[in-house]
Structure 1
Amino acid sequence: MAARSPRGPGRPPRGGAPTGKPSGQRGGRQTPLSRTGSRPVISTVSVPHLTTRAIVLMAVVLLLLASYTSTLHAWWQQRAEIQTTKAQIASTRQDIADLKDQKQRWNDPAYVKQQAKERFGWVSPGEVGYRVLGSDGKVQGADVPTLDAPPQAQQPKWYDKLWGSVKESGKEPRPRPTTTPDPDKVLKDQ
């Protein structure tokens, strides 16, 4: 009995061609041999072939990139808002310190006198205050104190007018003064 090949009947042994065929042939097609007796090496430009795995991987990477980009953008905006808020807090703290300082100054009677002299033109007893008047009769100078305008009388509301007319409707009418002179009186006076 003949020794069987571990690969099965009709299969070539490892590393060689099947028995009964020349080494230059393969499955019915003949490959020309080069001068050295080996097969020629055909150089081909490799074109990247995208497989399904590569497409899925690229889609996942793009999705992750998009989600991280939006997260990074939100983080950047929040960071800018935090910096703005910190600047506002520092400014507000400085304003509070200035206001506390001004409040303490108003507790000093000398400061109050100084402000009264500067703002209202007041003078202390025994001092003489001068004002320079221009040719038009107005006080000259940059530090001219002015008073606020007096409050204007408010017009009564419509419902007050309506209620007033309801109150007056039950009373006897008053005689209205006439603007035309009485002709009899005019003749008597002459």
Structure 2
Amino acid sequence: MPSESRRTPPRGQRPGGRPGPGRTGAAGRASVRPAAPAAGSAAAAALPRRSRFTGRAAVLLLVISLLTISYASSLRAYLDQRSHLEDLKGKIALRQAAIDDLEREQRRWEDPAYVKQQARDLNYVMPGETAYVVLGEDGEPLDSDASLTDPGTVAPKQPKAWWSRAWRSVELAGDPPVAEPPPATKIKDRQ
């Protein structure tokens, strides 16, 4: 038979011979239990509350925060690389367009007609041709790079009635305008 220390205690008794709460012990004595404080009393406020934040919750929170930080830094690196890749693709497209323009220009220069046109724009003439230079009133050559204005920016002229032009010719017949000097025939020497 097993020893008495190995025996299970009788019902209502804790191991070590102490009676459980609200029960009578082996000797028939009632256990003494402190009275529960009434709700809202000062004694209830003085008792410390057991925290719901356990060690397992702290470890779980730590693991989740580490994973979040790890994934956030990886996501940031991924997004930075994508934006850098998009920038590089844009630069490649611009450079490819520039290469295409240069290749087109090179094919143009291989055409003899284009070369002749470019030479004429620089005032070169073919053998046997005569070059003419337009002179201004002061005897200086006019610039060849003069440009036309946009027709939209010029104010349109108001049409005049036909009888006003006819009357103007009658007035000029009686008083002809002064003759202007003839245009220069030679280029003045530049000094």
Name the TM-score, length of structure 1 as normaliser: 0.49
Q: TM-score, normalised by structure 2?
A: 0.49
Greater relative contact order, per chain length (Cα 8 Å cut-off, separation 6+) = 2
